[in-house]
Chains A and B, each alone.
Chain A
Amino acid sequence: MSTHRSFFNRRLHSLLGVIPVGFFLVEHLITNHYATEGAQAFTEQVEWIWGLPFLPILEIFFIFLPLLYHGVYGLYIAFTAKNNVGSFSLFRNIMFMLQRLTGVITLIFVTMHVWETRLQVALNDYSADQLTHLTADLLSNPVNQVWYTIGILAAVFHFSNGMWSFLVTWGITVGPRAQRISSYVWAVVFVLVSYIGLSALYAFADPEFTNQLAQW
């Protein structure tokens, strides 16, 4: 069994990227999208999630630990590659390079994002209202807007292209035609999920959102 350790680790990395990490990413962006319906709608969503039973256990075992494993093992994978897009500027090779690049960007982004939001809530014992305020403040800063745009695009790219890769890694899309169609499908997913993520980001950044908060 020990000789199959790296095979197992790599498969686990692939699986955790989808369940639960990929699933959580999409869920998170959809929740954020409630911000486009106003501060109240977003706060209600946060309260609903905070009302889930066993939340700390869900967060630790279904988000934090899988994410940590995927991130750390992913860094190892990224640094064992020797990118050669210079001599092989082919579509899939460029995607291969971008998958590693966006993975590293996403890891840095997510680390900062967890510190700026989730850990602040935990350290200061914020209410859902206060979290909405915190997020609106954070995203009213233009530097953060740019950084969050990069972070969301990197994460969504990594998710979409990772899904393409997942289907190959588990032997689901086998032939060249299936893999080509899968490329188109995940390109569409990339556009749609990016739209959901970015529209939430700009909703938070909108001065109107902050005005709504002030009127509470």
Chain B
Amino acid sequence: MSEQTATAVEKKTVRFIITRQDSPDSEPYEEEFELEYRPNMTINSSLMEIQRTPYNAKGEKVAPVAWESNCLEEVCGACSMVINGTPRQACSTLVDSLEQPIRIQPMDTFPVLRDMVIDRNRMFDALKRVKAWIPIDGTYDLGPGPRMPEVERQWRYELSKCMTCGVCLQACPNVNDRSNFMGPFIIGQVDLFNSHPTGEMNKEERTDALIGEGGLQECGNSQNCVQACPKGVPLTTAIARMNREGTKHMFRKWLSR
């Protein structure tokens, strides 16, 4: 047997077991797919391959797997899904780094719309609740804001990496249908805007919202969030900082009335 035929026989393939769901109310089911191996393939490129040739492992033509993606460089947070048990981004997950068969599931902490497409609106609602922005719009020019100390800038840079991907909510044991916890990310976002020299002017409002229903107090210190966060956002440090702030806020509010 020549070497050429040997490689043809041992054509390397990658096997996927994908949890699919046709609509928000339908039951999920598993479907297997087998793709030809290509160097440097990612989960995102594999899903694109399935989109091009939507045949399952049995050779049946099926509806292509639906998923969201946008930036393809792990900054937008859209393509988060559970890959081999770990919530992460499809775009930055290399097939070479995974054990086979590769299991792909939607992040089921969120409502599943279809296949890997989830509804992350609860995160955006939470950002609105805590007013995670700096109000600078007005009817006249407010002039330049205060300068920011370098240490603050460095701290805020780490927090600013949050891309609202939802991985921390999927990893947290206290984010589930029995609890109303807004999720670990929201605590980092309050810290981000509270430690901005201009944002600080509205920090009482944000802290007040953060210790409302489903807020800071729902954290049980499992610290999964900081381990799971793909951007390395120092969530548990932000949580402890906001814990200190929340306690002070509660007493201040009590004693000044």
Contact = CB atoms under 8 A, between A and B. Distances in A.
Given A6-B217, A7-B217, A11-B217, A96 B222 contact: yes
Interface string A168-196: 11111111100100000000000000000
Contact of A170 (B176, B212, B227, B243): B243
A45 interface: no
B228 interface: yes
Interface stretch (A24-32, A78-86, A136-144): A78-86
Contacts of B164: none
A8 interface: yes
A165 interface: yes
A7 B211 contact: yes
A80 B250 contact: no
A134 B228 CA distance: 52
Instruction: Please classify the interface of chain A as helix (H, G, I), strand (E, B), loop, or mixed, using the class held by over half of its residues.
Output: helix
Contact of B173 (A93, A168, A173): A93
Contacts of B247: 11, 170-171
Contacts, number: 102
B223 A173 contact: no
Contacts of B240: 168, 171, 173-175, 179
Given A7-B211, A7-B216, A90-B227, A84 B243 contact: no
A3 interface: yes
Given A3-B213, A83-B173, A169 B224 contact: no
The range of chain B's interface size is 35 or more
B12 interface: no
Interface in B210-232: 211-213, 215-218, 220-224, 227-228
A77 interface: yes
B237 A174 contact: yes
Contact of A171 (B217, B222, B245): B245
Residue among A10, A171, A172 with most chain B CB within 10 A: A171
B223 A93 contact: yes
Interface string A1-20: 00110111111000000000
B250 to A, nearest CB: 7
A139 B216 CA distance: 44
A80 B245 CA distance: 25
A56 to B, nearest CB: 31
A92 B226 CA distance: 11
The range of chain A's interface size is 35 or more
A99 B217 CA distance: 16
Nearest to A3: B212
A171 B241 contact: yes
Residue among B176, B217, B242, B247 with most chain A CB within 10 A: B217
Contacts of A95: 222
A216 interface: no
Given A7-B216, A80-B178, A87 B85 contact: yes
A88 interface: yes
24 contacts: A6-B213, A6-B215, A7-B212, A7-B246, A7-B250, A10-B217, A81-B173, A81-B220, A84-B171, A84-B224, A88-B224, A92-B221, A93-B222, A96-B173, A96-B221, A165-B221, A168-B236, A170-B243, A170-B247, A171-B242, A174-B240, A176-B234, A176-B236, A179-B240
Interface of B: 85-86, 171, 173-174, 176, 178-179, 211-213, 215-218, 220-224, 227-228, 234, 236-237, 239-247, 250
